[in-house]
Structure 1
Amino acid sequence: MPFPNDEVLMKTAGDLVAQLQAIFGKHPGFRPAHAKGEILTGTFTPSAEAKKLTTAPHFNNPSTPVWVRFSSSTGLPNIPDTDSHADPRGIAIRFILGDRKHTDIISHSTPFFPARTGQGFLEFLQALASSPPDGPKPSPVEQFLGANPKALAFVQAPKPAPASYGTEEYFGVTAFKLINAEGKATFIRYHIVPEAGVSTLSADELKDKDPDYLRKELTERLASGPISFKIKAQVAAEGDVTDDATVHWPEDRPVVELGTLKLDSVLPDNAKEQKNIIFDPIPRVQGVEPSDDPLLEMRAAVYLISGKQRRAA
């Protein structure tokens, strides 16, 4: 994973990591966001349709081993699964293509994101950090949300707690280009859908749950068989915005099934592996290219800075 060389990008990425740590505290060895998580292992099997859209190896090989990290929001490693701030939940999928060869998909459980750029997200976090509950009104974050309707939409979007990581759906908010053998580019956004169906908890159901219920439920679910997801792609139409994660494509856009993810076990040495692995929002593999969405390079820089800190801890 190459280190970006844009000075402004790297400064903003460093400021984002520092601001997240200012809000949630420094927890050496853990991510500044989505700190609490669990890695599972399994296999991805592509569909026939995927091979028509891209030459990427994981969409053409008969199957590909995967690591999948499920996670809860915030930089608090021990946040209760029942805490409303733990939503949206995250999923990071690593397709293992060979020795030190891989590509990743990173998504979370709401199709919204609060800002188009890293600088915009930083301003959102800064406003949040300077808005104590007992401070003067309107608070800085209330003023920010009033001036930024896309951020307000993210805050107000429903974020019900999942009954299981295996019954949550996950959305890729940034666009990518799939390139096929003829060189045709198709803009898509990923959608990860549980084969068991989406199942969430009401507030009454949630209050009786264990603070670590999602991790424990994974173990129980795996005991009765693999956890399966369909990886789908919403396909953009001509003229759809592909460089802004805050803009939704219309619901009537075609959806293509790219393949099936089957997870069958919890990865051994989970804590060690979570500390070491650095997921990459940029695909860096033939057949899949990044869009011009500025969040991609910013998130890659944030993840790399965070990963270097974790490994050094």
Structure 2
Amino acid sequence: MTKVSTVTIGALALTASALAQTSIAQAQSTEHNTAEKDYRVFEKTFGATKGKRRNHTKGFCFVGEFAPVDNAILAYSNSPIFSSTSEVNGRVSHKGGKNLSPDDKFGDRGLAFEITTPDGDYHIINVNTEDFFPASKPADFIDLVRALGEGGEAVKALAAGRPELQAYLAHHKKNRDTTLRPYEGTQFNSVNAFYLVNESGDRTAIRWSMVPSGSQGIVVETNSDFLMDNMNANLTNGTVSWDMVVTIANDNDDPNNAAIRWEGEHTRITATRLTVTSTSTEADGECDAVNFDPTVLSDGFVVTDDPILEARSQIYAHGIGVRLSEKE
């Protein structure tokens, strides 16, 4: 029997057209109107492939499990994702709007997955390969997306008046390792911060990274579409997994600003492990129907006041209505 998920649209009784009508009704709010306008900026910059995500367009599905590793994390959170083994429905992807983006060229990547706990709770993790975000305000980020569509000179001109963007570009130019690697050999970062909440109600700000912990190499012949074959080969030969390494905020870290990198020594806990058991195309799998909204959280987590998080949630909600309605 197919499970009914609060965030897996394909498993709901709603049809794509009904969902689109719901989105249209919701669009009367100011927030949703802003999300719709921002979504159009993404379309103009990255292009629009009918029925596909407008960013992170190319990708494939996987299923697996999410299991506890170090119970030290339980001092900070009572979330069931840290205490029980959960089911995972996920997706790996290329950043950008090209449905045929080449696998054999370096680029930013994405990892997103829906966790279903044994008691039926849901939790979304959505991470990418950037170390931190290029803007702390949604409007500034949309300006960057617009500039990207205009070209490198437009980005340089925008950065001249944006210290956050200058810091982002300088850091990633200096520190980025452009070695070609598969998804399973790539580290992904949360960028946004969240609060953990324990049994006493204490809140602790965190970020985290998904650090490769299984087979990580390129083991098949590379071509423009080799990444799924490579992950399947690594699954055959061993284990494909990532460890969730949680970084506990220091007193001087700002959890509401995604454009600031947390510097210096921090307490880190390898809290859980994501293990892939199989992969599938989007057509054959279930990840295409999931809205990977990072604000969908289990008990023991709370969103921060980071405005980028709210903007992501609104744009994703608008986007899934659009692309599922296109599949009719």
**What TM-score comes out, normalization by structure 1 length?**
0.86
Counterpart position of 1:205 = none
Counterpart of 1:89 (choices 109, 112, 132) is 109
Q: Quick check: 1:12–1:118 contact (8 Å CA) kept in 2?
A: no
Structure 2 residue identity aligned to 1:147: G
Partner SS state of residue 315, structure 2 = helix
SS of equivalent residue, structure 1 residue 9: helix
> What is the CA distance between 1:123 and its match in structure 2?
0.8
Distance in 2, Cα, partners of 1:6 & 1:233 = 39
Q: Which amino acid aligns with 1:189?
A: R
Secondary structure of the 2:132 match is coil
Residues 114 and 246, structure 1, Cα contact 8 Å, conserved in 2: yes
Distance 1:43 1:237, change over 3 A: same
User: Which position in structure 2 is the counterpart of 1:142?
Assistant: 156
The answer to whether 1:127 aligns with 2:127 is no
1:241 to 242, 250, 254: 254
Hey, what does 1:188 align to over in structure 2?
Answer: 206
> Per-residue deviation at 1:213?
2.0
2:87 is the alignment partner of 1:69: no
In 2, Cα distance between equivalents of 1:80 and 1:37: 11
CA distance in 1, matches of 2:99, 2:288: 12
CA contact (8 A) 1:162 1:168 kept: no
Offset, 1:7: 3.9
1:21 pairs with 2:35: no
Post-superposition CA distance 1:228-254 (Å, at most 9, x none): 111011110113111010101123111
Counterpart in 1 of 2:308?
A: 295
The offset of 1:161, in angstroms, is 4.8
Taking only the aligned residue pairs, the percentage that are identical comes to 24
Question: In the alignment, which residue of structure 1 is the partner of 2:16?
Answer: none
Query: Does structure 2 retain, via aligned residues, the 8 Å contact 1:53–1:178?
Result: yes
Q: Is the 8 A contact 2:82 2:271 kept in 1?
A: yes
> Does the CA contact (< 8 Å) of 2:192 and 2:258 recur in 1?
yes
Q: 1:99, 1:268 → 2: CA distance? A: 28
Listed one character per residue, the Cα deviations across residues 181-200 of structure 1 (whole Å, up to 9, x for unaligned) are 1211111001110114877x
Partner of 1:53: 76
Structure 1 gap ranges (5+):
134-138, 202-207
Alignment partner, residue 35 of structure 1? 57
Post-superposition Cα deviations, 1:8-42, rounded to whole Å, max 9, x if no partner, equal 43233222211111122221111111011111111
Counterpart Cα distance in 1 of 2:127 and 2:159: 23
Contact 1:112-1:153 within 8 A present in 2 as well: no
How far does the alpha carbon of each residue in 1:135-179 deviate from its partner, in whole angstroms, 9 at most, with x for none?
xxxx33221011123223434512525421111111110110100
Change over 3 Å in CA distance of 1:227–1:270 after alignment to 2: farther
**Distance across 2 between alignment mates of 1:280 and 1:72:** 17
- One-letter amino acid matched to 1:66: V
Determine if contact 1:29/1:275 at 8 Å carries over to the other structure. Answer: no
Q: Count how many residue pairs are aligned between Structure 1 and Structure 2.
A: 297
Give the SS at the match of 1:147. coil
Worse-superposed segment, 2-11 or 49-58: 2-11
- Give the SS at the match of 2:117: strand
Structure 2 unaligned runs (5+)?
1-5, 8-22
- Find the counterpart in structure 2 of residue 106 from structure 1: 126
| 1:218-257 → structure 2 map (5 Å cutoff) | 218-257=231-270
Which sits farther off after the overlay, 294-303 or 94-103?
A: 94-103
What residue in structure 2 maps to residue 260 of structure 1? 273
How many Å separate the matches in 2 of 1:266 and 1:115?
Answer: 34
State the shift of 1:50 in Å: 2.4
CA distance 1:69–1:163, shift in 2 (3 Å): same
Contact 2:129–2:188 (8 Å) recurs in 1: yes
> Residue 304 of structure 1 aligns with which residue?
317
Alpha carbons 1:169, 1:193 under 8 Å: kept: yes
CA distance in 1, matches of 2:57, 2:177: 18
Match of 1:214 in 2: 227
1:278 aligns with 2:291: yes
* Residues 11 and 271 (structure 1), Cα distance of their counterparts in 2 relative to 1, 3 Å cut: farther
* In 1: Cα distance, 2:229 partner to 2:94 partner: 14
Partner of 1:136: none
Return the TM-score normalized by structure 2.
Answer: 0.83
The DSSP-based 3-state class of the residue aligned with 2:160 is: helix
Q: CA deviation at 1:6?
A: 9.3
